Chains A and B, each alone.
Chain A
Amino acid sequence: MTANTALLLTLIVPLLGSVLIGLTGRWPNLRETVTLITAISLFALVIRVLMGLNAGEAIGVELVTVISGVPIAFNTEPLSILFAMIASGLWIVTSVYAIGYMRGTNEINQTRFYVCFALALFGAMGVAFSANLLTLFIFYEVLTLSTYPLVTHKGDDKAKAGGRTYLAILMTTSMVFLLPAIIWTYVAAGTLDFVPGGILQGNLAAGSATLLLLLFLFGVAKAAVMPVHRWLPAAMVAPTPVSALLHAVAVVKAGVFTLIKVVVYIFGTDYLAEVPYESIAVYLAGFTVIAASCVALRQTNIKRLLAYSTIGQLGYIVMATMALAPFSEIGAAIHIAAHAFGKITLFFTAGAIYVASKKTEISQLNGIGWRMPYTMAAFAVGALSMIGVPPTAGFVSKWFIIAGAFQLDNYFVLVVLIISTALNAAYFLPIIFNAFFKAEDVTPVKDHGEAPVNMVMALSFTAMLTILFFFFNGPVLDLETQIVGGMP
């Protein structure tokens, strides 16, 4: 199989998978087998594409032309392969976890759930491998629409309200800001292809470029830069596997991924550095980091706390991207991976706690560590990664972002990181402390232990990944340094 075939199959397989899942809905065991097989083959295909990329194969597929000069086309580069690997790899783990969760909580409409999940992965793969902004936009919208039924899964008023916010913000921003930004780029540059070094240099007046950058920044609401972040807490009404894979990994990372793509391959870092007031983007992202952490401090619901923590962590990535130092671009790319491992672990633990004990509030977690030692240990690992303490994944990316800040003497970034680290510690550490060192307030009605074994396996696995990434990040690092043209 050539790398090009594999590339096309990464789109066909999840799409076909969703159809098969729909057809086998009557037999749950068969349906779940289909999900797992789809996930595993998707990951294998992404690996094949990666091998092709490393071997220097020419990779690029062009389908139909929608707008003159802008076909629906796919290719790959270091950043896209990283995003695709994380999303598809973690889909396998999430599927194992989701089977336990969905059966453990007796959710309704499980077939629809798995169908939409596969469709969302189809969207994520399309975003990852798109060769131009139009293709990216199309799959960006696929991702929005396919996750709406997942957010509103429960179908009650709360879910409906959450879904409305979710769709309203993501659709409005993408149509009102992102689409004009893309068409404007097309009018200015005559193309929408992702080209190393950018396509806008010399095609757009510097003053207009500031406005265009802001249109992109707020148009890509999936990156959750304040004030277009409200959809993410709203999405927390979804079942936890959705929050874990989609709203900690696939959807939000599609957002920051798009922004990095725009900065590196549409504007080009050199050109963007000349754009006046470009640093507004850095300040906005920095503000998001601090503000989200402050809001997180006051949250009482576990999943909402994690949502605000995600907003803050996405802010790191956006801030690092917009800082424009080579090191910080690498840091931004690596943080996509690092945050994914840590945050999916945290969401997995939140879901495991819910399935085992029906607890959803932070105040209920006192002493739970001794009932669910694996789960809470994994929680601790994930939380440490968010704070950025070695030996966890979060430390690696923070290192590079700080290095980037020193490269440019950008002390704003540095100060934001320091404050954010302190705030992260302030809201995560008490939870861990209370879980292990405080007595339970009341004896629970049900004398529970750990969640079902496949859930515990999944969350232990991702916790291990979080630690392993600290030690073995060489290959990822080598790959991602290519986006800035080699190690600076």
Chain B
Amino acid sequence: MTPFWVALLIKLGVTTVLLIAISLLLFIVSWAERKQSALIQDRIGANRAKLFGVRAWGLWHNLADTLKLILKEDYVPPTGDKLLHTLAPFLAMFCAMASFAVIPYGPPVTLFGHTFDLQVAPLNVGLLYIFAMMSIGIYGFVLAGYASNNNYAFLGGLRAASQMISYEVTMGATIVGLLLCYNTLDLQQMVIRQGDLLWGWLPAWGLVLQPVGFFLFMAAGTAETKRIPFDLPEGESEIIGYYVEYSGMKYGMFFSADLLESILVACLAATLFLGGWQLPYLTAGGFLLPGGLTWALPHWLVVALQVGAFAFKVVLVSWVMMTVRWTLPRFRYDQLMKLGWTFLLPISLANILLTGAVIVALGA
């Protein structure tokens, strides 16, 4: 039995690593988004901020922006609700951050005789927890619109609420197919089961078992995080958005919450559909190729490879989401609702039906 203080230290270590990784990813994603859009549109992008005479391809612009946001006046509209207005960005940010707690970013690790999961909270209802957090996160955006006492902000908040709730239905329905396949809500267990091989050579990743589910999840996930082409809650030319009355770091928190949510969806997509930290044919003892070839690797190297594989997948999914963002025009609001309720939801329900039928037919 692990003594309490050792367990505490381990938990702190696991949490710190995750927190640093997320902050770094947030930093890099907001930079990459600028530079990628610039290259796509034949521009250079932000490149003027200089630190110690080094421009570093505009990396410092994030620091400059953060500094600017912190130093700006924090304005609460006089007719607005001060408490809720202040609470909203914290709620949005908190829910986005807290959802990462159940993402397993590595295999079970043995260190000095103690075995632990590379996962902050090994919950057996991890997936439900994430959905709960996302649902509470909606309150942040609705409150922002409500507490500002501004019609435009209110419209933005309403749009955010109805959009996120609509697409959460699709997202939830998409996940059911996976639950039927893996029989668990525990994300770590789900990833471990994705290490199985079908017919001895095909990794049983969610993408292989639920190809339709993957596309539905990506579409619903993009809508859930309010990113282009589904960024209806914010429309600079029409309603501005739920954050119209926000300035300074509170606005920055909404901005980061949005980015964090998109990273979260990337993490979820990697965990649920792309095998999480699984590298094909890499088992705890080393590589085990389908032909019977084996290549033993030390424990630390296996862990490093698998954590690296997870990071790579998350970056890849984020990248795809950003590319789609800079490719597609936005939907109109009625098109968005039509797409969600009359197109994605029926397909996801049919997907559940088909998955269930196949599982019953196979007698599994």
A and B are partners in one complex rather than unrelated chains: no
Q: Give A contacts to B, CB under 8 Å.
A: none
Chain B: residues with CB nearer than 8 A to chain A? none
